[in-house]
Amino acid sequence: MSLSFLHTADIHLGKTYRTSTGDTERYEDFFRMLNNIVSDAIVEGVDFVLIAGDLFHTGQILPRTFARTIETLQPLRDSGIPCIAVEGNHDWIHRRDSISWMEALSQMGYIHLLRPSRTETGGYRFDSFDYDQGMGGHIEVNGLNIYGLGYIGTQAGAHVSRICETVTTTNNILLFHVGVWNYSPVEIGNMKPEEALPLAEVFDYVALGHGHKPYIIATPEGRPYAFNPGSPECVNFGEERYDKGYYLVTVEDGVFTHEFRPTNPRPMVVTAIDLDGAADAEAAIVRFRDRITAKIASFSDDLQPLLEIKLTGRVGFHPFELGRERLRLALEEICNPLHVEIKNHLSLVTAGGGAETEKKSLAEIEREVLRELVSAKSEYKGREDELVRLSLAIRDQVLKGEVDGEELLGLLMREPA
């Protein structure tokens, strides 16, 4: 048996910045990335493409996103290359009386959506894929048996034994939208490495998705068995630290050989600018320009960057004097970013009674008010700092407008730090 396939995940079609002037171009970034992967699959003549969840950024996509997805996947269909996918936590719709966009794509033949059935006793049943219905839990391609699980929530590790006992074939691949602790950068939807290990006895290749960072998991004997490609495009700030790409996998006489193929995501920069000691806003702007210019000096990309900037330090002017519009105009002259997020943590220092006094930053005031509110409830005693951090984390996610119910629930359920 000799064949090849591409393994990608976490495409996040439909993602954009709703309040940014660059929203249209950012929206197209994710389609450009999928188009490049599709083109590579055709050039390589692979036998199939695997998408391990989160094809979409949200389960409730716009019709234009659905139309653009069909347009982007059409060349695979025309080339006779099946695209086999599972749902991630972002793909799910919570009203199960409605057909999902993933189900619609599968019924139309643009993807083969794998989803297992459940038995009355809580076990799994991987029915053969029904091409007329566009549904099933298992599909066979050129001698390889591909099983799809998708996203099953925060208790995924407890399901592994039930998954393994159901599979009786050989030459097996598992599509599984789940993270593994110690490897995955996400905080929800993970299982422990020891919980994942039994999968290595049943599946030759576990195609993971969920965490946007690439990683490979091996057995104690050193055999790689689970592969997470990460997201091919930078989705959220913080991901600029990770390699971006997908896997080209060849199978020769039962031996799986992987090659990580890097992509070229839009440049993303997260940085802190220390303005400590600046006497006035003009001096602060000069220093701000110098620091940003130095930070992006190594950029050789024609794509406009995405910036997240944190301003820190004790200054001699009110932080509001460095308003968003003033900073944005300065940035446009330097690098013309597609999108900017600015976190102003400056503190005002004033002279009073011959001694300097430091006024609290807005972030510090916010934390103090929240802590006072939490402390008012006796049952929260001893957990004030934890609950303040949690409240701010939820606030940040909601303000971005990109969070779904499962992610909020995961923040609430995670173990205390």
Mean pLDDT for 339-343 is 91
- % of the chain at pLDDT higher than 90: 62
Kindly state the tokens that stand for 367. Answer: 């934390």
37-51, 93-107, 254-268, range with the lowest pLDDT: 93-107
pLDDT at 288 over 60: yes
Q: How confident is the model over 179-208, as a mean pLDDT? A: 92
Residue 400 has pLDDT above 90, yes or no: no
Q: In this predicted structure, what is the pLDDT of residue 295?
A: 86
Q: What is the dihedral of CA 11, 14, 18, 23, to 10 degrees?
A: 80
User: pLDDT of 65-114, one tens digit each?
Assistant: 999 999 999 999 999 999 999 999 888 765 555 678 999 999 999 999 99
CA distance 305 to 301: 8
Quick one: CA dihedral 73, 150, 103, 145, positive or negative? positive
pLDDT in tens, 267-280: 999 999 999 999 99
pLDDT tens for 134-171 read: 999 999 999 999 999 989 887 888 899 999 999 999 99
Across all residues in the chain, what is the average pLDDT?
88
Q: Is the pLDDT of residue 26 over 70?
A: yes
Residue 25 near residue 338, CB atoms below 8 Å: yes
Confidence band, pLDDT 50/70/90 cuts, at residue 415: very low
- Residue 156 is predicted with a pLDDT of 87
Q: Are strands 112-113 and 355-358 parallel, antiparallel or unpaired?
A: unpaired
C-alpha to C-alpha distance for 391 and 395, rounded to whole angstroms: 6
Most confident by average pLDDT, 99-103, 203-207, 408-412: 203-207
What pLDDT, on a 0 to 100 scale, did the predictor assign at position 102?
A: 93
Q: CA 288, CA 273: separation in Å to the nearest integer?
A: 7
- pLDDT at position 356 is 55
Distance of CA 175 to the CA centre of its chain: 17
pTM of the entire structure? Answer: 0.85
Of 243, 334, 235, residue with least CA distance to 292: 334
**Overall average pLDDT of the 237-250 stretch:** 96
Residue 401 has pLDDT above 70, yes or no: no
- 346-380 pLDDT, tens digit per residue, is 988 865 544 555 666 667 777 778 887 877 776 77
